[in-house]
Structure formats: structure tokens, C-alpha cells
Amino acid sequence: MKAIVLVAHGSRRQTSNDEVRSLSAKIAHKMSHEFPVVETGFLELAEPLIPDAIERCITQGVTEVCVVPYFLSAGIHVEQDVPAEVKKTQLIHPDIKMEVQPHIGGSDMMVELIRNTMLNR
């Protein structure tokens, strides 16, 4: 069984964290057949932290975790911090496949998203 962990930075502003959780819920609804488990994880400032979100997936019986960095640019968090958090958890669960996906902002679909946003305002 596969899972998605949508990873964001985390914020002191609770509504920002709730926004990410809401997006995770929408992903879960749209992708329930491909990914029966969808969790939200934060790098810092909010809970659950990335390892805890992955652990939640594992307790639900997943065998594969796809970590999706919800970041616009490939800064140090995307390049180092998120993979390091995943690696720590991978060492505890070597039997579970864990893979960090490309960050959202790097997708070519961002151009179309911005275009549609501007045309539909």
C-alpha cells in the first residue's frame, strides 16, 4: 500500500498550517485509489513533524511512502533538510520504501497554474 506525505515548512501561524492540512485532505480525496494514505508533515514549527507523519503512515500498513516537498524553490530545506529527516526514519524502517519526490515549485505545471490563476481572476 502506498502513502503520500505532503511536507511543508511549518508556521507559527496556525491558519497556514491548516491550509497545508486542507490540501492534504483534498489530495487524499482525489487520489484515494492510488494512495490510500495521505498525511501532512512539517519540517518545524508545527506538528506532526516529518518522521511522525511517516510513522503514522507505517502504522496504517503502508509499504511505500512518497514524500512530496510542498516548497516553491529548491533551497536548503528541499535539498538537505527534508531528505535528512526521511533518511532518519528510513534507518528505523529499512523494509519500507521511502522516496522524496521533486519539490512542487520545480514542476513545469507551475507555469500553467500561474497562467490559469491570472486569466481567471
- Confirm whether 9 is a catalytic residue: yes
Active-site position among 9, 77, 93, 103: 9
CA distance 63 to 1: 5
Residue in the block written with cell 497562467:
115
Residues 6+ apart with CB under 8 A from 101: 66, 67, 68, 69
Angle between the 82-92 and 50-59 helix axes, to the nearest 10 degrees? Answer: 40
As annotated, the active-site residues are: 9
